Amino acid sequence: MAEKKSGWNFNYTTRDIVIIAVIAAITGVVNTGVGNLWYLANTSLGPLGGALLQGAFMWAYILAMWLIRKPGAALIVGIIEAVTEILLGNAAGIGTLGWGLTQGLAIEAVMAISNYQKFDMLTAILAGAAASQFGTLWTSIFYGWDPAYSKDVWMAVPINLISGAILSGLLGYLLAKAISRTGLIRSAGR
Amino acid sequence: MADNQEQQGLVYTNRNSLMNRLYPLVKLAWVFVIAIGLFIYKSPISGAVMFVSVLLLAMLAGKIPFRQILGSSKIILMLGILLMVFHFFADPGEPLLKLGPLTITDNGLYQGPIFFFRLSVVVLASFVLIWTTDTRDLMVSLTKVGVPYRGAFAVFLALRFLPLIQREVDAVRAAHSIRGKSTSSGLGHRFKLWQRYIFTILINGLRKAETTATSLECRAFGLYPTRTYVKDIHFNPWDLVLIVVTVVLSTGLIIIEKVI
Amino acid sequence: METNTPFIKATDVFYTHWNQDEPTLKGVSLEISPNTINVLVGPGGSGKSTLCSLFNGEIPHLLGGKFEGTVLVDGKDTHIEPVKNLSQQVGHMLQDPETMFATLYVEDEIAFGPENLLLETDEIIQRTEKLLEDIQLTPFRQNLVWNLSGGQIQKLGLAVILAMKPAMIVLDEPTANLDPHATRAVHELVLKLRDEGMTILLVTRELDDFILTAADQLIVLDDGKIMASGPVQSVLAEYGQDMLERLGIWLPETVEIGLKLRDSLKLNLPAIPISMTETLQVLADQNLLRGRITNCEPESSVAEITKKYPLISGRNLEFSYNNGFKALNDVSFDIFPGEMLAIVGRNGAGKSTLAKLMVGLQKPQQGKLTLFDHPASFWKVEALAEHIALVFQNPEHQFLTDTAYDEIAYSLMARGIVDPDEVRTQVEDWMQRLELSDFTKIHPFALSAGKKRRLGVATMLVCHPQVLLVDEPTYGQDKEMTQTLMQLMEQIRAQGVTVVMITHDMRLVQEFASRVLVMAEGKILYEGDPAQLFASEELLHAANLRPTLLQELLKEYQDRGGQVDCLIRNTDQFLEALTYTLNLEETNGG
């Protein structure tokens, strides 16, 4: 009975909009908490410091994409989630938008390649890994890490990818599955 | 557990200040202008000038008490200093001082403050926007420049759900701790508990979301492409002075850097 | 019923939710006349909330699922009529009005609907002003919607619906978690609306004398079917006993007494009394307002309880939240082994904060709190959990696993019971005791409200705590479920467990509490015998509580020459005592 339309459908319903808002609010709260740890690691230890946790921020982007299944869902969640973090007074201010945009766009890119048709575990893991590394691009700009002279930036790449694959891709995918299994959320089907 | 009414995050207050009266989009644009400048500056002095000017603007034009600014900025100033110290050691240049395996370079000493100011000024300017702007007005002003109102509302709804979520997070955390000590302390178990924690908050949040969506449609949300705004906001061209002054200041700094 | 055409006419409605296989509504036929108050009651899971969605277009247009039969709203078929028309004609206030809110401030929230309708600014302002006035929220117009009290939230929910100028409103349990005063305020508002021409469908699980007196039609829903509908008096007379005994619906104690006089004492009553005056009249007519009631519980066992050494003891406790809100102010109390203590007070009186202190989630900022012979600072939440368990208002918050079975198993394993056979035996035993055996494989979140609650209790009880703390036992429960829960509490109390319940339901206090702690504005107003609380009007008033109808009746009884020497806990005891007294008189040659 699941009403799942996927593909290039931009027709956002009111339900999609409210779901995006709720996911963004939840993520805003959780990410602000996790973020404090990450900011500390990153600012004091550099590119390798936050790499392990780098993937912990995007599970909700994946989840939103998996629930809504429309182009832009991950990007919009990214932006609104960033705004929520900014409003909660995180340690990056409007710079947070940079992460929301890069991470969201990375997931959209992966999904676009699949024509917004594939919603399996592998796609989720790829999207998570991509988002994680894309986010790091912005981190490098914001914190002034220059890959030209810093080995750390390169060494962090595989850690970022793995962290993103597990903490964002896999976690997001598993959450979407778990929610669907309860049969309580209509957007998740049953 | 309804006794708890704490408020987290940054709070907008109407102090009837100049900054309060500015058009919200102008303030938003101002934050971006400031941020762009800070990504271009090559000298810590430019950053310092911006730091002081944003601080003065917040206190004089925004009537924000210094104590509040300090209270909210403590963490970010600390992180800024950490980032600065990191750059002291990380950036290549002539070694100045050796501390065990670490070396402070002259270039690092110069670069460090740039990034301190980049981080702290961007955040401080964002704080000023939030302290002086009613989010509702910001949303309305977004719809005026063509953002569809349902989209702008998503931001607004996220904000509206925030306190509910925070209450939920507190309740779930309390409930989980009361279930007694954890049955295992392995990494896999922790990952599972973390997933569970998120899951509970999500299920409740999503269920609320679906009910809210139905109720919004019954209140004619999205029925027409536009809607009325009882508390409309009006753009005053004089507000642009803030942008002009900031742009002039910022480009001035960039030119001075080039000249010197 | 009046002869004019009904506003609502539902015929043979079947409805199956999108995620279920069995229909929730199984052939509902119903008529609602314009300008009437219609009260709908039914046990949990009978389909009340689903029925509420039938009239404003949610079903069949928004909620999905399978819909058969017809619903006519003002003559128009909901199959054909679009949501935008239906939802403006019928307003639906959800059970939790907070989920309806879309904005940050009270006045914006009221204006939200009309703004979407593209109404003129002047018209919107006019509507907003009038509604703010009507719901008495004008001073709070600039408040954030999440900083309102429970009663204010309900009123704002009502205003939000009324702003759309509907002809009919559907209110889904608007008073479910309100204290008695807030409940009365909402009911008075409903009455005023009817008098202004509104048609009202009010769903409730607790019928009180006030709303029953005002209602034009009473509808009883049972298992997706309308069991009875019609004028209040005739429905009560015909189905009252069934509602009480089989469906477990809370009826006012006055009605309970009336039904019992008629059925048990075989008295011939002209009508079932609803209000206090009517009940007194009936008792007077039957010449029952006399005599001395002596054969109930001895005046008090409080002296006996307080002789023991307390398990928990607080002295001069103070607690404030970060935002400066002083939740506890010079609070001293004791909890004794084996008692059933009720902590009462209106919403925000400090009850929940006190509970958090007792389970270690918060530490007192001032004063001395001793928990099981150790100071509060000695305890970690996890360690304390082995001595005192808290059953949350929302049991979902404490679930950690994916099946009901695993939930209980988790608790056992957390206690160090790891032998698989032992775990299985114990889990199965508990499942059976709580009538959950058929649901072992179900996801805890997918259980019904009552079962969730029982599972929540079970996860706590398997840890064999010395003290069980229950936050609002009636929250989201109908009478039957509350009774089951309370019987369980009685059972474990008999095994020596101390039970503490936090509630504003005075009927629960009257029936079960051995001792009571009254709180108001962060202070303890009274600690002791429940009978004395009921006897003191000043105390009840100061704590913003209302006496139960039964206690009010007993007071009147005494004012009119009767005498009561002991604590009567429910209507059964009252009737028993009454008959005993009368028999006594007869045998004494009356």
pLDDT tens-place string over residues B189-203: 777 777 888 899 999
Confidence of residue C238 (pLDDT cuts 50, 70, 90): very high
Q: Which residue of B171, B182, B218 is in closest CB contact with C58?
A: B218
Whether the per-residue pLDDT at B179 is higher than 90: the answer is: no
* Burial track B201-217 (b if 16+ CB lie within 10 A, e otherwise): bbbbbbbbbbbbbbbbb
DSSP letter at A95 equals G
**What residue type is B256 in one-letter code?**
I
Domain spans in chain C, listed from the N-terminal domain onward: 8-242, 252-300+547-590, 303-546
**More confidently predicted of B82 and A6:** B82
How many domains, chain A? 1
Residue A163 lies in a domain: yes
Q: Which residues contact C440 (CB under 8 A, 6 or more apart)?
A: C403, C404, C405, C427, C431
Whether the per-residue pLDDT at A161 is higher than 60: the answer is: yes
Residue A110, SS3 per DSSP: helix
pLDDT tens-place string over residues C52-84: 999 999 999 999 899 999 999 999 999 999 999
Whether the per-residue pLDDT at B3 is higher than 70: the answer is: no
pLDDT tens-place string over residues B34-86: 999 999 999 999 999 999 999 999 999 999 999 989 988 888 999 999 999 98
Q: Which residues contact B223 (CB under 8 A, 6 or more apart)?
A: C84, C116, C117
Find out whether A68 and A16 touch, Cβ atoms under 8 Å. Answer: yes
- Cα–Cα–Cα angle for C429, C432, C436, rounded to 5 degrees: 125
**More confidently predicted of A69 and C564:** A69
Which helix (H) or strand (E) is A103 found in, with range?
A: helix A96-113
Whether the per-residue pLDDT at C297 is higher than 80: the answer is: no
Chain C residue numbers with beta carbons less than 8 Å from the beta carbon of A186 are: 18-19, 64
Query: CATH assignment of C303-546?
Result: 3.40.50.300
DSSP of C127-143, one letter per residue? HHHHHHHHTT-GGGTTS
Cβ-defined contact of A175 to B86 (cutoff 8 Å): no
In this predicted structure, what is the pLDDT of residue B6? 40
Q: Which residue of A25, A95, A145 is in closest CB contact with B122?
A: A95
Cα–Cα distance for residue pair C49/C24, rounded to 1 Å: 10
Cβ-defined contact of B3 to C88 (cutoff 8 Å): no
pLDDT tens-place string over residues A85-132: 998 888 888 999 999 999 999 999 999 999 999 999 999 999 999 999
Cβ-defined contact of C399 to B200 (cutoff 8 Å): yes
| CA within 13 Å, CB half, C47 | 24
Q: Which residue of B115, B165, B206 is in closest CB contact with A179?
A: B206
Query: How far, rounded to the nearest angstrom, does the alpha carbon of residue A99 sit from its chain's CA centroid?
Result: 9
Cβ-defined contact of B162 to A87 (cutoff 8 Å): yes
Place of tokens 């009361």: B178
Strand order in the sheet with C199-203: C90-93, C168-172, C199-203, C37-41, C217-222, C225-230
| C433: exposed, middle or buried (Cβ count in 10 Å: 0-12, 13-18, 19+) | middle
pLDDT tens-place string over residues C432-466: 888 888 888 888 988 887 788 889 888 888 888 99
In this predicted structure, what is the pLDDT of residue C298? 61
Whether the per-residue pLDDT at C395 is higher than 80: the answer is: yes
Mean model confidence pLDDT for chain C: 89
CB atoms within 10 A of CB C259: 22
DSSP-based helix, strand, coil % in chain B, nearest 5: 70, 5, 25
**More confidently predicted of C357 and A8:** C357
Q: Give the residue-averaged pLDDT of C573-584.
A: 81
Cα–Cα distance for residue pair C321/B67, rounded to 1 Å: 21
In this predicted structure, what is the pLDDT of residue B7? 43
In this predicted structure, what is the pLDDT of residue B4? 38
Chain A residue numbers with beta carbons less than 8 Å from the beta carbon of B155 are: 21, 80, 83
**What residue type is C308 in one-letter code?**
K
Q: Give B19 to chain A, closest Cα distance, Å.
A: 17
Q: Give the residue-averaged pLDDT of C512-533.
A: 92
Write out the residue range of the structural domain in which residue A145 sits.
14-188
DSSP letter at C21 equals S
In this predicted structure, what is the pLDDT of residue C47? 92
Whether the per-residue pLDDT at C323 is higher than 90: the answer is: no
Q: Are strands C515-520 and C340-344 parallel, antiparallel or unpaired?
A: parallel
Q: Where are the beta strands (DSSP E) in B40-154?
A: 95-99, 102-105
Q: Which residue of A13, A36, A143 is in closest CB contact with B115?
A: A143
Q: Checking phi first, is residue C371 left (phi over 0); if not, alpha (psi -120 to 50) or beta?
A: beta
Whether the per-residue pLDDT at C299 is higher than 60: the answer is: no
In this predicted structure, what is the pLDDT of residue A5? 60
Cα–Cα distance for residue pair A134/C562, rounded to 1 Å: 83
In this predicted structure, what is the pLDDT of residue C590? 44
Q: Which residues contact C511 (CB under 8 A, 6 or more apart)?
A: C486, C569, C570
* A-C contacts at Cβ under 8 angstroms: 19
CATH number at residue A59: 1.10.1760
Whether the per-residue pLDDT at C43 is higher than 80: the answer is: yes
Selected for mutation to probe chain A from B159, B172, B221 (highest A CB count within 10 Å) is B159
Q: Are strands C366-371 and C312-320 parallel, antiparallel or unpaired?
A: antiparallel
Chain A residue numbers with beta carbons less than 8 Å from the beta carbon of C402 are: 178
Selected for mutation to probe chain A from B206, B207, B212 (highest A CB count within 10 Å) is B206
Domain spans in chain B, listed from the N-terminal domain onward: 18-133+234-259, 141-218
Cβ-defined contact of C445 to A186 (cutoff 8 Å): no
Whether the per-residue pLDDT at C531 is higher than 70: the answer is: yes
Confidence of residue B11 (pLDDT cuts 50, 70, 90): confident
In this predicted structure, what is the pLDDT of residue B1? 36
Phi, psi of C554 (to 5 degrees): -65, -35
pLDDT tens-place string over residues B228-259: 999 888 899 999 999 999 999 999 999 999 88
Chain C residue numbers with beta carbons less than 8 Å from the beta carbon of B7 are: 323
In this predicted structure, what is the pLDDT of residue A111? 96
Cβ-defined contact of C402 to A178 (cutoff 8 Å): yes
Cis status, amide bond into C547, omega within 30 of 0:
no
Query: How far, rounded to the nearest angstrom, does the alpha carbon of residue B208 sit from its chain's CA centroid?
Result: 26
Residue A9 lies in a domain: no
Q: Alpha carbon of C569 to those of A116, C246, C253, C298: distances in Å? A: 64, 21, 11, 12
| A63: exposed, middle or buried (Cβ count in 10 Å: 0-12, 13-18, 19+) | buried
Residue B213, SS3 per DSSP: helix
Which helix (H) or strand (E) is C491 found in, with range?
A: helix C479-494
Q: Give the residue-averaged pLDDT of A46-62.
A: 89
Whether the per-residue pLDDT at B187 is higher than 80: the answer is: no
DSSP letter at A170 equals I
Q: Which of B245-254, C222-231, C553-562 is least confident?
A: C553-562
Phi, psi of A143 (to 5 degrees): -95, 0
Whether the per-residue pLDDT at C410 is higher than 50: the answer is: yes
Cα–Cα distance for residue pair C171/A86, rounded to 1 Å: 38
The CATH number of domain C8-242, selected from 3.30.365.10, 3.30.56.10, 3.40.50.300, 1.10.3720.10: 3.40.50.300
Of C333, C318, C466, which Cα lies nearest the Cα of C388? C466
Cβ-defined contact of A89 to B9 (cutoff 8 Å): yes
| C348: exposed, middle or buried (Cβ count in 10 Å: 0-12, 13-18, 19+) | buried
Whether the per-residue pLDDT at C504 is higher than 90: the answer is: no
Check CB contact of A17 with chain B, cutoff 8 Å: yes
% of chain B residues with pLDDT over 70: 94
Q: List the subunits that have 3+ CB pairs under 8 angstroms with C.
A: A, B
Cα–Cα distance for residue pair C336/C482, rounded to 1 Å: 24
Tell me the two tokens of residue C516: 């009571």
Helix/strand/coil (H, E, C) string of B49-78?
A: HHHHHHHHHHHHHCCCCHHHHHHHHHHHHH
Q: List the subunits that have 3+ CB pairs under 8 angstroms with A.
A: B, C
Find out whether C133 and B245 touch, Cβ atoms under 8 Å. Answer: no
Cα–Cα distance for residue pair C462/C481, rounded to 1 Å: 20
Chain C residue numbers with beta carbons less than 8 Å from the beta carbon of A1 are: 18-19, 64
Residue A86 lies in a domain: yes
CA distance from start to end of chain A: 7
Find out whether C364 and C371 touch, Cβ atoms under 8 Å. Answer: no
Place of tokens 């790829």: A126
Q: Which residues contact B60 (CB under 8 A, 6 or more apart)?
A: none
CA distance from start to end of chain B: 62
Global pTM reads 0.89
Cα–Cα distance for residue pair C115/B232, rounded to 1 Å: 11
